Chains A and B, each alone.
Chain A
Amino acid sequence: MTLQISDWRLLKLTLDQVGPFQDAIQTFNFRGIASPEAPDPAPASLYMLLAKNGHGKTTVLESIHGLFGLMANPPIGRFADAAHKGQAQVDIRAEWTIDGKTQTTLLSIWTGSQSHLVDWTDDLESAQAQQWATLNLTQTNGVISFGRGTNDLGRLLFEEIRAAQGTAPTELFGLSQELPTVMLFPADRRLVAPSEYRVIERPKGWGYQPAQTFASDGPVWAESIDNLLIWLEWLDDGRLGELIAYLNAEIFAEDRKAIRPPRRAELKTFVATPTGEHGLEQLSHGERALLQLYARTASHMTRNTILLIDEVDTHLHSKWMNRLLLALKQLLVKNAQLSIIFTTHNRELMKVFDHQAQEAGIVKGGYLIEDDLS
């Protein structure tokens, strides 16, 4: 059987006794903003998650990432840890084409529980789905097994993902790959200069992964942006030029700076500025945070991607923060199957996001976690 997936939309996350959500089952509906004119809105493509510190924002992002991480080999993320407690379920709606037949499919992935936390058996219609794919993943000593409730559709996805893992992309912005991926950018996403020797080698996590984390970059060479750019330089298939043009337009256009193609002799990338050249590690924290976000997204996303950005405003001046939000919106308009969930503490960003204002090509949604949690 061959599986093709399109129109990938995150619907719901349900958490029980995970992180700060200890007292009661917590459900996050990733739908757009409802209004009297649109009482049943489409799933959100740009979703803002707000809460005070310690109230579960990061837990929500890590849980989505972690459920997909259980499909990776070896499993990664918060649920891959044998010590993890609690139950979690994520529900995604997508078009699944199996051997030429397309059906709207609701996929539920859960862990930590014998049975699903949300039962869609009699409720598929409300999810506007025709069939239900179920995947109960249990981890024991680093080995993933199917738990009770897993059905053939769930197994099919799992096996397709495992088989495709590591397949190298051949285009930017996910155009060459369509299996789903979740990309998590934790709040700490600085770039540190690689301290190891520089070599021409395939970057870590270069091939397809169902879940990816891009935290503070370096000093390990294989995890550095420098390595990514050098690798694209050696592939010499036009992607490097496209990526550098994108990065320069989004990050440096207004500041008379520009990333230059890597120097082959030094295996290093430089940034041209009005006062000379310097390495990537000498960019400001804000520039490095943006570079990490833009370069990794463009290089590692697939056609069906959920982008999770924790504290999106970290290190960013108000002007850059607004430019980032604009750039994310442009990404969404160009990539209809991309969904972005971000968290922030920034009051200005909350206002600029303007959750009630409609914008073409984007479905906004959001949640404010404000209950007292034990």
Chain B
Amino acid sequence: MPDLSLIRDTEELENRYLDKVIIYVEADADEEVFRRIAGPALAGRLEFKTPRSEGSGFKIVFDRVRTERPSNDKIFGLVDGEAAVTVGGLNELLDSDEALFNLPDKAEVDGILFLEAHELENLLLMYGDICEHICRDVRLVDLKSHSVEDVRKKLSLIALRFFGSAVLKYSALEMRRSGKDCEIVPAGTFLSRDETMRILHEVKQRLVQSGEWREFRATFLEVTKRLRERFNRENLSSEAKRQHLLRLADGKSLLNRLRQHYNTNARWDGYLVDSLTKNAYAAKFSQSVVKHTAA
């Protein structure tokens, strides 16, 4: 029975009073999307919230969960899959089968759940019927301008590039975990194949100069090898492999690149979220939330 002196702020007080599962997420928009995916059946048992702290991103979620969880075991965090790499969870991200995974051996992320995907946008790309929507998001005269199959091919091509950029990031994060000050190349700069090649060349030059190229290359290859091994081990179809690339690619940049290609002014997100909530993924997500939080 706590004296309110022991409760540091109104947010923590509300959470303890509610006696519900609270899942902190990285941003207000995430809060709404996850609430919709989880659906009304879970609304009475859990709430998604954004920490009212300065800053943004997964670190404020880590901090908030670390603060509240010792006195309230119903506090959880839900962050992008890429955040797992910063705490040594790269293998778990690559191997993930569930909608969410955790890192039970790492005390510093106790209560933190990670998306199976690089970030939220990947879920929209994987389960939001984006190809169908792009084909419909046209004027009358452009109805025949591209087919779903065309868009799927284009998406796969671009996804490969942004998968590469994500692996570069994972490799850099792994290097950082071992104490190196390794550069992280912004994925948004991978605008075209030629541009990508130019950037990769420059990155290599810088890593060679700093003496980190060998280790970086080995890390990069290890990541791709591990994923390839999984593909072989599970004898995955080409469609399943494509889904994994979409899962692990830099989703935000990939979505922006698609916008640039098809319609710079497109506001697809609402439609994609709507499709996502109707996809079987929503049930998979809810089951995973319940499994990890006992909500």
User: Which A residues lie at the B interface, using CB under 8 A?
Assistant: 26, 29, 31, 33-35, 41, 48, 50, 52, 347, 350-351, 353-356, 365-371
CB distance from B43 to the nearest CB of A (A): 15
B2 touches A367 (CB 8 A): yes
**A-B pairs, 9 with minimum CB distance:** A366-B4, A34-B5, A355-B4, A351-B10, A33-B5, A50-B17, A368-B2, A371-B1, A369-B1
Closest residue of B by beta carbon distance from A344: B17
B10 touches A355 (CB 8 A): yes
CB distance from B196 to the nearest CB of A (A): 48
Task: Say which residue of B3, B14, B18, B19 sits within 8 Å of A367 (CB atoms).
Answer: B3
Given the interface contacts A351-B14, A354-B10, does A368 sit within 8 Å of B4 by beta carbon? yes
B19 touches A370 (CB 8 A): yes
CB distance from B255 to the nearest CB of A (A): 35
Task: Say which residue of B7, B16, B18, B19 sits within 8 Å of A355 (CB atoms).
Answer: B7
B13 at the interface (CB under 8 A from A): yes
CB distance from B14 to the nearest CB of A (A): 6
CB distance from B41 to the nearest CB of A (A): 21
Task: Say which residue of A350, A351, A356 sits within 8 Å of B8 (CB atoms).
Answer: A356
Whole-angstrom distance between the alpha carbons of A29 and B18 in the complex?
Answer: 22
Tell me which residues across on chain A come within 8 A of B7, comparing CB atoms.
355, 368
- Chain A interface helix/strand/loop/mixed: mixed
CB distance from A325 to the nearest CB of B (A): 14
Whole-angstrom distance between the alpha carbons of A369 and B9 in the complex?
Answer: 17
Chosen A-B contacts, 27 in total, with CB atoms closer than 8 Å, are: A26-B1, A31-B3, A31-B5, A34-B5, A35-B5, A41-B5, A50-B13, A50-B17, A52-B17, A347-B14, A347-B18, A350-B10, A350-B13, A350-B14, A351-B14, A353-B10, A355-B7, A355-B10, A365-B3, A366-B3, A366-B4, A367-B2, A367-B4, A368-B1, A368-B2, A368-B4, A368-B7
Tell me which residues across on chain B come within 8 A of A33, comparing CB atoms.
4-5
Tell me which residues across on chain A come within 8 A of B9, comparing CB atoms.
356
Tell me which residues across on chain B come within 8 A of A366, comparing CB atoms.
3-4
Closest residue of A by beta carbon distance from B4: A366
Contact digits for B1-41, partner A, Cβ 8 Å, 1 yes 0 no: 11111011110011011110000000000000000000000
Whole-angstrom distance between the alpha carbons of A50 and B4 in the complex?
Answer: 10
Closest residue of A by beta carbon distance from B13: A350
Beyond the given pairs A50-B13, A355-B13, 11 more chain A to chain B contacts, judged by CB atoms under 8 angstroms and listed by A's residue number, are A29-B3, A33-B4, A41-B5, A355-B10, A356-B8, A365-B5, A366-B3, A367-B3, A368-B7, A368-B16, A370-B16
Task: Say which residue of A26, A29, A31, A350 sits within 8 Å of B17 (CB atoms).
Answer: A350
Tell me which residues across on chain B come within 8 A of A29, comparing CB atoms.
3
Whole-angstrom distance between the alpha carbons of A153 and B36 in the complex?
Answer: 64
A370 touches B1 (CB 8 A): yes
Closest residue of B by beta carbon distance from A39: B5
Whole-angstrom distance between the alpha carbons of A260 and B9 in the complex?
Answer: 44
A34 touches B3 (CB 8 A): yes
A368 touches B13 (CB 8 A): yes
Tell me which residues across on chain B come within 8 A of A354, comparing CB atoms.
10
Tell me which residues across on chain B come within 8 A of A353, comparing CB atoms.
10
Whole-angstrom distance between the alpha carbons of A347 and B14 in the complex?
Answer: 7
Whole-angstrom distance between the alpha carbons of A34 and B19 in the complex?
Answer: 24
Whole-angstrom distance between the alpha carbons of A365 and B1 in the complex?
Answer: 14
Tell me which residues across on chain A come within 8 A of B17, comparing CB atoms.
50, 52, 347, 350, 368, 370
CB distance from A249 to the nearest CB of B (A): 29
Given the interface contacts A50-B17, A370-B16, does A365 sit within 8 Å of B4 by beta carbon? yes
A52 touches B10 (CB 8 A): no
A52 touches B19 (CB 8 A): yes
